[in-house]
């Protein structure tokens, strides 16, 4: 069974490659706008399903994922600009937030949630992270594996989920879908 990763994320590719999974890449280009009144879980699930839909064909397994950051019920997606990134990081400073990834393998969907705590960030630290640009295309305007990770005080849950693809759950779903994994 051929596996197609429906994502342009270099982090998702790297995580799958580290696990020895063979796949091709065919990113889906969809409107990622959250609908008015759409709850975080419903939104992240819809995004993953819509990303996988174009690649669902016979003899091929589609893998798509969407990751969001949620604080006080607000979904923090990818920042629109550096000012938006600054607002997001100030919002995350000194507190807990949730990172939720929905994984879609063909028509099966599963969510994984991880709690993350940031230290209290000074205005200079926020500027340092924002000016690096590493969070420009990431939910919540930060990369755990980058310099922002220096300011994370605790994680409760999957580390790889915060990077963008919860590997334990993803590999379980791929195995259930009949994808050949290196150890099978």
What is the helix (H) or strand (E) element at residue 113, kind and residue range? strand 108-118
Q: Which of 66, 72, 81, 136 is catalytic?
A: 66
CB 116 within 8 A of CB 144: yes
Question: Which one-letter DSSP state was computed for residue 147?
Answer: G
Which two structure tokens, joined as six digits, stand for 94?
Answer: 């000194």
Alpha-carbon distance of 8 to 6, in angstroms, equals 7
- Annotated active-site residue 66? The verdict is yes
Phi-psi region of 72 (alpha: psi -120 to 50; beta: other; left: phi over 0): left
Alpha-carbon distance of 131 to 129, in angstroms, equals 6
> CB 13: neighbour CB atoms within 10 A?
16
Catalytic machinery residues: 66
């Amino acid at each position: 069974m051929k596996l197609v990763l429906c994502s342009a994320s270099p982090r998702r590719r790297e995580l799958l490659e580290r696990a020895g999974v063979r796949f091709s890449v065919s990113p889906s280009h969809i409107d990622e706008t959250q609908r008015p009144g759409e709850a975080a879980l419903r939104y992240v699930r819809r995004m993953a399903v819509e990303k996988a839909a174009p690649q669902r064909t016979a003899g091929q397994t589609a893998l798509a994922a969407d990751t969001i950051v949620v604080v006080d019920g607000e979904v923090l997606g990818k920042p629109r600009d550096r000012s938006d990134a600054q607002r997001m990081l100030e919002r995350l400073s000194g507190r807990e937030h949730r990172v939720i990834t929905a994984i879609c393998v063909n028509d099966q969907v599963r969510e994984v949630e991880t709690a993350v705590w940031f230290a209290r960030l000074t205005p200079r630290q926020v500027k340092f992270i924002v000016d690096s640009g590493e969070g420009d295309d990431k939910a919540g305007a930060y990369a755990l594996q980058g310099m922002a990770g220096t300011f994370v005080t605790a994680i409760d849950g999957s580390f790889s989920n915060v990077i963008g693809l919860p590997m334990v759950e993803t590999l379980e779903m791929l195995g259930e879908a009949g994808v050949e994994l290196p150890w099978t």
